[in-house]
Structure 1
Amino acid sequence: MRGKNGRSRRRDRSRHIFNLYLALGAMTVQQSFATLGRSTVPLIAAAIIADLGVDPALVGVYVAIGAVAGFLTTMTCGGLIVRYGAMRMTQVGMVALAIGLTLPATAWLPGFALGAFVGGLGQAISTPSSSHLLGRLSPPRLAPLVFSIKQTGVPAGLMVAGVVAPWLATEAGWRTALLVIGSLAALTAMALQPLRARFDVDRVPGAPLSPADIRANVAMVLREPALRAMCLAMFSFVGLQSLFTGFFVLYLVRGLGYSLERAGLVFAIAVAVAVPARVGWGWLASRLVRPATLLALLGIGMAASAVLTALIEPHWPDWLATTVAIALSATAVSWHGVLLAEVARLSPPGRIGSTTGAVLAFGDAGALILPLLFSAALTLTGGYATGFLIGGALSLAVGLIGLWRKIRLGV
């Protein structure tokens, strides 16, 4: 009898490990395509601006509209994930992203605004859904590493976007680039369908969808000091990342005289480094450094990198500009797994998706406010440096506050 129970436990453990690896692979792939879709318009903005003759500062408006939509999604997605399942909501998000990329292909300016909103609604569901799923399957000790591996989908998507989107825009036109990448988002939603029955077993079809739940989620994360610190970090770090993904290529092309393909290559090389960096930070947080301490140090590092980015000159060799971009990518584009795992650890049982959504809403607020500040600085000064300095200052504040808190509490 004891041997039979032992074999049963081993089978259950093997099944659980298989499900973890399968979920991790699926969520990493969908995160890559979600990031590819969301970053496409900013990365080919130089071609769109040249074709339509619009103000470059409108890129910040596009990013901000997507951030507003993302804020709405992350604030409300907790109940939807519980009711319909993490995998189903991921599929819905990818379809919305596909629609959001198709609308701007009309070259009608309101189509860009509508596309940014619809695409932002869809793309923002990716992280809360995957956090809900992986938080249920991951061993607590390994959660920072598991979440960091999943979050490598973001730099992987950015890397592909940095090469493919400018190449498509140059060779086939920016409208074709949007349609092709939108099609890839729709195909991703279809590819996830066979996994739905396996992973949405915890959904509660009758779960209520109430505005009171949204208020309760926000109140809960603001009431808990550790989660409140995660909200502040999310606001600042996502804001700086939005400046990098939304304006860096435009900065190289229109501010420093790079060609679109050359700028895209520098961007792609930089974000490629974020893949091992995310895994490395996740490993450190799982083994050697407390996650909150590591996040504070990363805040200081990304502030220094933002200052160097603002100092890039047109006469700098490509390798030097790329090195600076790599430093910014290794910090501002590489922290997510550590922070999301910490949020999952601090979340009430069964509420990881809701708590993650509430914290991510502060990130969407950062992705709304900082690009608008960047656009305002660009309009007022005619240069890109001030905007990067603003983003770096906020990250520096988060890092210093985090270290001060660790020293004060003696942890």
Structure 2
Amino acid sequence: MLKPWVAALSATLLMQTVGTFLGQTIPVVAPLMTAELGLRPETVGNFSSVNTLGAILFLLFGTPFVARHGPLRMLQFGALVGSLALLAAAAGIVWLLPVAALVMGIGYGPTGPAGSRILQATAPPRHRVLIFSVKQAGAPAGGALAGLVAAPIAALYGWQAALLSAIVVALACAVLIQPLRPQLDAEREPQRPWRDAFTAKRLAAPVNALRMHRVLPPLTLQAFAFAALQGSLFSFTVTWLVERHGYSLTAAGSLFAAMQVAGVVGRLVLGWAADRLGDATRSLSLHGLVAAALSAAWVLLGPDAPAPLALLLAVGAGFTAASWNGIFLAEVARVAPADRVAEASSGAILLCFLGYLSAPTAFAWAVTMTGSWTLPYLVACGLLAVVSLVVFALRVGDAVRNR
């Protein structure tokens, strides 16, 4: 039998990758899909926002299901639900797309709280941030997979074929982790009533989560700003490159994949660094300033630059803008009471997901109103820079008062 933390990390990393692969397949094939369905290219942002709304609904009401059925079972549930959502989207019926997006988000929702519950119970304390960051590296890895696999399949065989390929991968992975269930779901609570998920108390869960420790409000504010920038970059990059800069779908997908791979490396490197520094909130503040600067450089200079420079700028943006999640989740799990890790993670992730929810819709609206794709990107960069400065000042002030 595998060591508990190895089994835990293997399963959560795989399913994090699968969840993101399913969710990012739509943005990757969006230029073909929107053209065939007669939609404006920027409407892919609305799909991304409704997707996030579905994840928020799970985070708000789904934590008791993680306890009742076990976190691994809920990761399998997420892959199944996400696959059904892509199947609905593949039907090519416009009114079904918002439904598919909402269901897709519900399927993605378990990856945060279920993964945190599994890892917090098994991760060696001195490597906790790194292990959480490795698990979260599955998110950009899934995006890279979408760029490298879904884009070429869509270009050759059509966007529906790309969606069906993603479904096959997701269902196969859900079956693959089944042998680990007795080990990783051993502490589930099968007698916990389902009605616990649908009480008025659940609506207060995000606020209650922030009350568990004083570091959580500034940490979650920082995560919100990161999510707004990351959501904007990853929802629109392929469509923006194809529509405004004349890239082929395969070339745009390759740059998108490069950003995602850089995010994988960034999560590992910066997770290791955060373990060494020991102050996740201050670390993320400095990280945010660098991410805002490099993302702005990519937006202003990258698409029309020579290929090597474009690749370098895309990698820089992906390395910094997509590498914060593991540090955030590890810190939430560290400061939360041991028996409330899933609840704290759900609440904190829900609040930071408001960035993923609001940014793509606001971005799409801004493109429609102004005709500019650059302006909303720079607004997202500016938001992260300002919030990072504010949170850094608050953290330094706390440190001075505690001397």
TM over 0.5: yes
Question: Counterparts of 2:364 and 2:168 in 1: how far apart (Å)?
Answer: 30
2:127 is equivalent to residue 142 of structure 1: yes
Q: Give how far 1:110 is off.
A: 1.5
Q: Give how far 1:385 is off.
A: 0.7
Q: Deviations over 1:29-54 (max 9, x none)?
A: 11111111100000110111222221
Question: Counterparts of 1:264 and 1:44 in 2: how far apart (Å)?
Answer: 9
Question: Counterparts of 1:206 and 1:131 in 2: how far apart (Å)?
Answer: 22
Q: Give how far 1:314 is off.
A: 5.3
State the number of aligned residues: 396
Name 1:383's counterpart in structure 2.
Answer: 372
Name 1:328's counterpart in structure 2.
Answer: 317
2:40 is equivalent to residue 55 of structure 1: yes
Question: Counterparts of 1:194 and 1:248 in 2: how far apart (Å)?
Answer: 38
Amino acid in structure 2 at the alignment position of 1:50: A
Deviates more, 1:344-353 or 1:226-235: 226-235
Question: Counterparts of 1:358 and 1:296 in 2: how far apart (Å)?
Answer: 21
Deviates more, 1:215-224 or 1:278-287: 215-224
2:205 is equivalent to residue 217 of structure 1: yes
Deviates more, 1:386-395 or 1:162-171: 386-395
Name 1:266's counterpart in structure 2.
Answer: 255
Map 1:62-77 → 2, pairs under 5 A: 62-77=47-62
Q: Deviations over 1:316-370 (max 9, x none)?
A: 2122222221121111111111111000011112111111111111122111111
Q: What residue ranges of structure 2 are gaps of 5+ in the alignment? A: none
2:137 is equivalent to residue 152 of structure 1: yes
Name 1:119's counterpart in structure 2.
Answer: 104
Question: Counterparts of 2:93 and 2:141 in 1: how far apart (Å)?
Answer: 30
Name 1:12's counterpart in structure 2.
Answer: none
Question: Counterparts of 1:218 and 1:309 in 2: how far apart (Å)?
Answer: 34
Name 1:278's counterpart in structure 2.
Answer: 267
Question: Counterparts of 2:249 and 2:83 in 1: how far apart (Å)?
Answer: 24
Instruction: Mark the CA change 1:139 to 1:212 in structure 2 (over 3 Å): closer, same or farther.
Output: farther
Question: Counterparts of 2:302 and 2:162 in 1: how far apart (Å)?
Answer: 30
Name 2:390's counterpart in structure 1.
Answer: 401
2:113 is equivalent to residue 128 of structure 1: yes
How well do the aligned residues superpose, as a CA RMSD in angstroms?
1.6
Deviates more, 1:303-312 or 1:179-188: 303-312
Q: Deviations over 1:211-232 (max 9, x none)?
A: 2442453232233431112221
Q: Give how far 1:128 is off.
A: 1.3
Report if the CA contact (8 A) 1:75-1:361 is conserved. yes
Q: What residue ranges of structure 1 are gaps of 5+ in the alignment? A: 1-14
Question: Counterparts of 1:139 and 1:230 in 2: how far apart (Å)?
Answer: 23
Report if the CA contact (8 A) 2:227-2:356 is conserved. yes
Q: Give how far 1:410 is off.
A: 2.3
SS in 2 for 1:225: coil
SS in 2 for 1:410: helix
SS in 2 for 1:102: helix
> Structure 2 length as normaliser, TM-score?
0.94
SS in 1 for 2:95: helix
Name 2:27's counterpart in structure 1.
Answer: 42
4+ residue segments displaced more than 4 Å: none
Larger radius of gyration: 1
Report if the CA contact (8 A) 2:302-2:309 is conserved. no
2:175 is equivalent to residue 190 of structure 1: yes
